[in-house]
Structure 1
Amino acid sequence: MVYLQEFEGQEQKRYSIDEIRYRSDSGRVLECVNELSPLTEQKIADLKKIWDTRAGSWDPLDRSGVWRYREFLPALAPFDSVVTMPEGNTPVYSMQRCAAYTGMETLHAKHQGMNPTGSFKDNGMTCAVSMAKKLGASMVACASTGNTSASMAAYATRAGMKSVIFIPDGQIAYGKLSQALDFGGHTIQISGDFDMAMKIVEEVCIRENIYLLNSINPFRIEGQKTIMIELLHQLNWEIPDWVVVPGGNLGNNSAFGKAFEELKRVGLISKVPRIAVIQAEGANPLYQSWKKEEQVLTPVEAQTRATAIKIGNPVSFDKSWFALRSTNGVAEEVSEAEIAQAKVHIGYDGVGSEPASATTVAGVKKLVQKGVITPQERVVCILTGHLLKDPDYTIEYHQDELYADPQRTTAVTGHEKIETGPYRNMPVQLPADSDVIIQHLQNL
């Protein structure tokens, strides 16, 4: 049985998955409840074999790193409305330079930036847009700092739907905005920050019966939980000690916690990794509440160049707390300089990422220094977005022109420049003279 229910609330009322709603009658967020039963050892072995076989299949559902694990997505059965690119199948990299930088013996990263539109959002969007199609929606909408809009616009146009995007004026990386525009998303810039955009889009969707695709949509979380199922499959079911993830609207770590709970409930795993959520210092409501040991959301006015996590009032706050509690996890914050310097080390490993992803490597370094993570533990960082999502940031970093505000001034930071450290790789200008160029190369 599959149904929607208020998350961790007093209300026990169940809502049909065929009803379009995002909150309970009392106004709390909903979760998709999958009543999965424990499996016998033989059935677990059979299921793993099925997934192994699907990984080599040409069937569109099997090729997707989301729908390959459709036994954990019963809400979309019989899977005849699925919209897939296909997504998932993202690599797990060994990060030797990042390991040395953080003080780890080994370090791995699962790069969700290798998804079709360049971010982890595709894992959730394929599920949520498929549900929109199943429910007969003709128009979808979201508020976005960039990645959600790109993903939603792509999947919506493939499903034959119109998409409407609400973005905070001047607070979106152009690499992400260009995707949404190219995929046909109708983009509305509003005055205010992401949290204001989120408030408005929810109001508009309810009033105009437009299907909302932010992570308040429980089916986004359903899709994103397959990131962890795929990771464990890729690791041959050897459970890592830690999974480290950036914290913005907090849908990802909420989804990861749900994945681990369901996998353990059916018997596919016997223990769960600890989750570490890393936030930017200027957008850290989860960290602040975790530090106080109080599950009370106090919104902040978000300030960070890591635009993907520039969110001060996350909708998945309570789900995120549950995920941290249930995995014995932690929340941590990192500075703009720590993010920038971690990002360049991800690049030195030949991988690259957008700034928000780099909070993970910065967070591992900080948690190792604090003794929370030990150098011998097995840690997987989740890189949430591709390097080319925010190329301006990378260029500004290497030219030593990286400011806390892209317009180089803000009421909060003034003209604060982000400390880039000794890792810059500045372009060199030389004359068109082969002798001079050869002499320069000999000195490298």
Structure 2
Amino acid sequence: MKMTCVDHLRCVVCGATYAPETRLMCELCGADGILDVVYDYDKARRSLEQSPLAGRASQTLWRYRELLPVDASSARIPDLSVGCTPLTPAPRLARYLGLDSLLIKDDGRNPTGSLKDRASALAVALACAEGKDVIACSSTGNAASSLAGMAASMGMRSVIFVPKDTPEPKLTQLLAFGATVLRVQGSYYDAFQLCQSACAISGWYNRNCAINPWLVEGKKTVALEICEQLDWKVPDWVAVSVGDGCTIAGIWKGFREFKLLGLIDRTPRMLGVQASGADAVLQAFRTGSLPPDRPENTVADSIKVGVPRNWRKALQAIHESGGTMISVDDSEILEAIGYTGSLSGIFAEPAASTSVAGLRKAVAEGYVDSDASVVTVITGNGLKDTRSARLAVGQPHDVSPDGRELKDLLAGHGYRG
């Protein structure tokens, strides 16, 4: 497998280094030994000087080949267009949140409707390079549907382990993509453990981003795109919802690497937002270690993680960036679906609206100044979980065919004429 500028893998716990191969965990630290991908940044810099980003035709994540573990020019990659999602001004939402300005990075516009497509695109390319024809993951929904869609586009088989309370729209998407869906009658932790065992026994490619270091590299392209889209003017803050910790870790890594390469002169502060019913990473941020009691109780299924595997990388992102973490409860998350949609025109699923709700709280509590430049990342489309959205936005108004109630009803909502 040809890797353009990858130099080595490094354990985030003990610092041990390994050759860039298909290894997933540190052999010294076991399950705690999450690895990080380290690049030859001098080589990457020379390549970018010879072929500047501005001259590249590709409008997908593959345009950042120097900072990805797959050489898209020689590897088999999905035909689906992943990445380069819109960065949209949201002035009305900004005012509601107490900000002068706000930009929304809408990753709900990816092929299967979530940011997870960035990791899954890498996963299927890596699996194909290793000669694997079956790829598996455990997921609360988005990683699952993302993997299933990417695998289908490559003619590969996918086996998906989901917890029992996975939303129906996400299950339907999985089945539409032809995945073998195994609904585990337990929590996400139970689904994850079963998937790990099945991959080990069957030799399937393991797409679980929590332990597969290569896949976080896809997520960092969110940051790389933000830098380009803002003409290299980095925002003061980037708000991201947090479950396992992979996404915020990946996005921070993208900013850090672009600064290392000299493409930006500073990095943003990261605001990590968790649901209060699944806030193990926030508790680790406050105490330095994961709590013994790790609840999984939130409407935001995509970040409902009681045993986060990438919490160390997430905290590294917060500390290195000078950022902070905050939590919001389910009522705040659901409310944010409504005002995000009505004030920006962007439909966010609960895990995605969590970042907006957290940003509102962070402004109110003085963590984020009103005049700060801010980007919030919408990680998934609201159509992923319409049942939760209906809890947030209410019911339609029933009217008779002759419209006799119409005048009074509209007047009650401020319409005239």
Normalised by the length of structure 1, the TM-score is 0.86
Distance 1:79 1:112 in 2: 27
1:139 to 112, 129, 134: 134
Distance 1:257 1:431 in 2: 53
Contact between 1:289 and 1:295, CA under 8 Å: does it hold in 2?
yes
Distance 2:16 2:44 in 1: 27
2:201 to 204, 207, 210: 207
Contact between 1:254 and 1:320, CA under 8 Å: does it hold in 2?
yes
SS at match of 1:351: coil
Q: Which amino acid aligns with 1:245?
A: V
Superposition deviation, residue 284 in structure 1:
0.2
Superposition deviation, residue 12 in structure 1:
2.1
Go from structure 1 to structure 2 and tell me whether the alpha carbon gap of 1:299 and 1:230 turns closer, same or farther (over 3 Å shift): farther
Q: Which amino acid aligns with 1:12?
A: A
1:115 to 110, 118, 124: 110
Find the counterpart in structure 1 of residue 398 from structure 2. 429
1:32 to 37, 40, 45: 37
Aligned residues: 404
Find the counterpart in structure 2 of residue 441 from structure 1. 410
Go from structure 1 to structure 2 and tell me whether the alpha carbon gap of 1:23 and 1:43 turns closer, same or farther (over 3 Å shift): closer
Structure 2: tracts of 5 or more residues without a match:
none
SS at match of 2:25: coil
SS at match of 1:76: coil
Contact between 1:84 and 1:126, CA under 8 Å: does it hold in 2?
no
Q: Does 1:85 align with 2:71?
A: no
Distance 2:44 2:121 in 1: 27
Distance 1:94 1:85 in 2: 26
Q: Which amino acid aligns with 1:119?
A: S
Superposition deviation, residue 90 in structure 1:
0.9
Superposition deviation, residue 398 in structure 1:
2.9
Contact between 1:274 and 1:328, CA under 8 Å: does it hold in 2?
yes
1:97-133 per-residue CA deviation (whole Å, 9 max, x = no partner) reads 3212211111111010000000001111111211111
Distance 2:283 2:134 in 1: 37
1:366-388 per-residue CA deviation (whole Å, 9 max, x = no partner) reads 11122110000001000000010
Q: Does 1:235 align with 2:237?
A: no
Find the counterpart in structure 1 of residue 383 from structure 2. 388
Bigger Cα displacement from structure 2, 101-110 vs 427-436: 427-436
Distance 1:397 1:274 in 2: 30
Contact between 2:239 and 2:375, CA under 8 Å: does it hold in 1?
yes
Go from structure 1 to structure 2 and tell me whether the alpha carbon gap of 1:397 and 1:318 turns closer, same or farther (over 3 Å shift): same
1:212-234 per-residue CA deviation (whole Å, 9 max, x = no partner) reads 11212122111111111011111
Superposition deviation, residue 79 in structure 1:
3.5
Q: Does 1:279 align with 2:302?
A: no
SS at match of 2:198: helix
Find the counterpart in structure 2 of residue 360 from structure 1. 355
Q: Which amino acid aligns with 2:54?
A: D
Distance 2:202 2:126 in 1: 18
Distance 1:304 1:140 in 2: 28
Bigger Cα displacement from structure 2, 31-40 vs 375-384: 31-40
Contact between 1:340 and 1:355, CA under 8 Å: does it hold in 2?
yes
SS at match of 2:215: helix
Distance 1:272 1:38 in 2: 22
Q: Does 1:245 align with 2:240?
A: yes
SS at match of 1:390: helix
Distance 1:370 1:436 in 2: 44
Contact between 2:134 and 2:156, CA under 8 Å: does it hold in 1?
yes
Find the counterpart in structure 1 of residue 14 from structure 2. 10
Find the counterpart in structure 2 of residue 403 from structure 1. none
Bigger Cα displacement from structure 2, 79-88 vs 260-269: 79-88
Contact between 2:278 and 2:297, CA under 8 Å: does it hold in 1?
yes
Contact between 1:110 and 1:380, CA under 8 Å: does it hold in 2?
yes
Q: Which amino acid aligns with 2:59?
A: R
Superposition deviation, residue 359 in structure 1:
1.1
Listed as ranges, the matches of 1:26-425 within 5 Å are 26=28, 27=30, 28-37=33-42, 47=51, 50-54=52-56, 57=57, 62-64=58-60, 66-76=61-71, 78-169=73-164, 171-215=165-209, 216-292=211-287, 294-296=288-290, 298=292, 300-348=294-342, 349-399=344-394
Bigger Cα displacement from structure 2, 249-258 vs 428-437: 428-437
Distance 1:202 1:311 in 2: 16
Distance 1:273 1:143 in 2: 31
Distance 2:49 2:25 in 1: 38
Contact between 1:142 and 1:149, CA under 8 Å: does it hold in 2?
yes
Q: Aligned-pair RMSD on alpha carbons? A: 2.0
Superposition deviation, residue 397 in structure 1:
2.5
Distance 1:198 1:39 in 2: 35
Superposition deviation, residue 39 in structure 1:
7.8
Superposition deviation, residue 434 in structure 1:
3.8
Contact between 2:169 and 2:385, CA under 8 Å: does it hold in 1?
yes
Superposition deviation, residue 45 in structure 1:
6.7
Go from structure 1 to structure 2 and tell me whether the alpha carbon gap of 1:225 and 1:299 turns closer, same or farther (over 3 Å shift): farther
Superposition deviation, residue 253 in structure 1:
0.7
Superposition deviation, residue 76 in structure 1:
3.3
SS at match of 2:272: strand
Contact between 1:146 and 1:176, CA under 8 Å: does it hold in 2?
yes
